[in-house]
Chain A
């Protein structure tokens, strides 16, 4: 099973600051990585797919990068609505055996 390790567990920042979230895979996964945002009481929302492609309707301040085992989600200038939980997910295997990271909580400092 491919394990995804997200860091940090909690990130405390202020609106307007830049956020950098990391996701490391236990083996190479190419670019088969997605990022999701989840707010309390809501279902996850796809932000980024294939490591660096923004999903439809996602603001340009969200960007993804990386390949192989190390990936980054960057939020260039935090808006109040960006404070939430963020998960990475890999889709490298076929047949599918999707796994998620344990999440990073982005909180207001």
Chain B
């Protein structure tokens, strides 16, 4: 099973762009065996799915993010990324990267998560 590790700034200013990367180990991101997701969890709240990307780069996003989210894959570095533009304090959350068996509709495994705070 692959392992995932998020990285990125823990503090982002309002109106700026949040950028996170997820390093994948224990398997090739381009193997065709996996799909990849970002999920976030506001402090003390439930889980919100952000988006999905396949190893070929096909992307699907939660419409509630109103086109602010962009996901990409870097097969040379075996990692994938999330960009979220025009952030507000409401985007403060723990962000998880996670995988899934390609063609399946559950999410496993998950990274450990990274807290991103949006504040001036």
Contact = CB atoms under 8 A, between A and B. Distances in A.
Given A100-B46, A100-B48, A44 B62 contact: no
A interface, size bucket: 20 to 34
B107 interface: yes
Interface in B32-61: 37, 46-49, 52, 60
Contacts, number: 64
Contacts of A102: 46
A87 B1 CA distance: 22
A49 B111 contact: no
B20 to A, nearest CB: 14
B112 interface: yes
Nearest to B96: A43
A49 B46 contact: no
Contacts of B107: 34, 36, 44, 46, 89, 98
B49 A98 contact: yes
Given A92-B105, A96-B60, A97-B60, A103 B46 contact: yes
A39 B98 CA distance: 17
12 contacts: A43-B98, A43-B113, A46-B107, A46-B108, A49-B108, A89-B49, A91-B106, A95-B52, A95-B60, A97-B60, A101-B46, A103-B46
Interface of A: 1, 32, 34, 36, 42-46, 49-50, 55-56, 87, 89-92, 95-103
